[in-house]
Amino acid sequence: MIFKRFESNHSGRDLVVGDVHGHFSKLQKALNAVQFDPQKDRLFSVGDLIDRGPQSEQVLEWLARP
């Protein structure tokens, strides 16, 4: 099994999301609800991201950002 380790995020929060299933608007709504700040917070995505929802392309574009 391969593990990826990350340094601690001292400037913000680390959030984990999974099972988005191509529903970008639901992902965005959830991130807005917790006031996600891409300048200091990190989002780790796991699970099914794009397999059946109508906004799979938007999910991939958003997650490809640094």
What is the tens place of the pLDDT at every residue in 26-46? 999 999 999 999 999 999 988
pTM for this one?
Answer: 0.81
Q: 14-18 and 42-46 as β-strands: parallel, antiparallel, unpaired?
A: parallel
Contact assessment for residue 33 and residue 61, using Cβ atoms and an 8 Å cutoff:
no
Per-residue pLDDT, 47 = 84
- Asked if 20 and 53 count as a contact pair (C-beta separation under 8 A), the reply is yes
